Amino acid sequence: MIEVRNLTFSYEEQSPLFNDFSWHINRGQAWSIIGPSGCGKTTLLYLLSGLLRPMEGQILIDGAPILRPRPRTGLILQDHGLLPWATVKENAWLGFRIRRFYGPDGKHAPPGIASNNSEMQKRLDYWLRRLGLDGLGDKYPSQLSGGQRQRTAIARSLVLDPDVLLMDEPFSALDVSIREDLQHLIQQFHHESQMTIIHVTHDIEEAIVLGEQILVLTGGTNQEPRIIKNTLDGSVSSPNHPEFQTLYETLRLQLGRVS
């Protein structure tokens, strides 16, 4: 589904983060990307989203090169990105408003996408209820907890029925109990929907919980992908489980080698 071909990218006057880097993601897989600060985790996510362009090489989704943000790719950021003057419902409805404004042009909305108000309202109501926000629709971001704001950001992406979901450390600023709750929600949703999910994190435990496959990036220039297959595949989420601890140590050693 996603093909990264011979990617080269660097910021001005810096060493390349990626040089001739190739990577393949099958449809329906859940990946975690982990590595030291400054290694290019978020940069790679932005390249996949179309917010950044490769200097050399290509990124393709379903065979089409990514030259701009893609309408069926959802992006969830660490800082929520909510409109402070809009309610929970209005923030979650934002993508629908944009799609309706442009129409199904293939750039801002997928061609042939339904724009029926009642159908969109059903999807909105479903995700607000599923994410525990159905009683908070008229609240503003300033009236919400951090977990509720992040749930609103998740709802805003999922109501649009993306086939690829990109997440940039969305739970890192949350309390442990809230973070674990949202991790399990995303994990459950992936098993139900088989959506392709790519999740950036600096936390080894989170990488294990959410990633069927784990891409480890280096603090230098990334040329060959270092991939760890997660044999647990969400079946074990307790850090005290022996298999979890073994995988944790494997990743910790890998990060020590690449930092």
The pLDDT of residue 45:
97
CB distance 253 to 70 below 8 Å: no
Ranges of each domain in the chain: 1-72+165-259, 85-162
**Tokens representing residue 71 in the block:** 């309408």
Query: Which pairing describes strands 30-34 and 196-200: parallel, antiparallel, or unpaired?
Result: parallel
- The b/e string for 161-193 (b: 16+ C-beta within 10 A; e otherwise) is ebbbbbbbbbbeebeeebbbebbeebbebbeee
Residue 33 φ then ψ, to 5°: -115, 125
**Residue 36, amino acid:** P
The pLDDT of residue 254:
87
The pLDDT of residue 114:
55
Q: Which residues contact 167 (CB under 8 A, 6 or more apart)?
A: 75, 76, 186, 197, 198, 199, 200
The pLDDT of residue 175:
86
The pLDDT of residue 79:
80
The pLDDT of residue 13:
86
Instruction: Give me the residue label for tokens 């086939």.
Output: 163
Helices in the chain by DSSP H: which ranges?
41-49, 88-102, 117-130, 146-158, 176-193, 204-210, 242-258
The pLDDT of residue 231:
85
What Cα–Cα distance (Å) separates residue 85 from each residue in 66, 89, 90, 142, 149?
Answer: 32, 12, 9, 9, 13
Q: Which residues of the chain have pLDDT under 50?
A: none
**Residue 211, amino acid:** G
Q: What DSSP character marks residue 143?
A: G
What Cα–Cα distance (Å) separates residue 221 from each residue in 25, 40, 106?
Answer: 21, 9, 35
The pLDDT of residue 92:
94
For domain 1-72+165-259, say whether CATH 3.40.50.150 is its number. no
Q: Alpha-carbon distance 251 to 213, whole Å?
A: 12
CB distance 129 to 136 below 8 Å: no
**Tokens representing residue 97 in the block:** 């408003």
The pLDDT of residue 137:
95
Q: Alpha-carbon distance 10 to 8, whole Å?
A: 7
Q: Alpha-carbon distance 65 to 4, whole Å?
A: 10
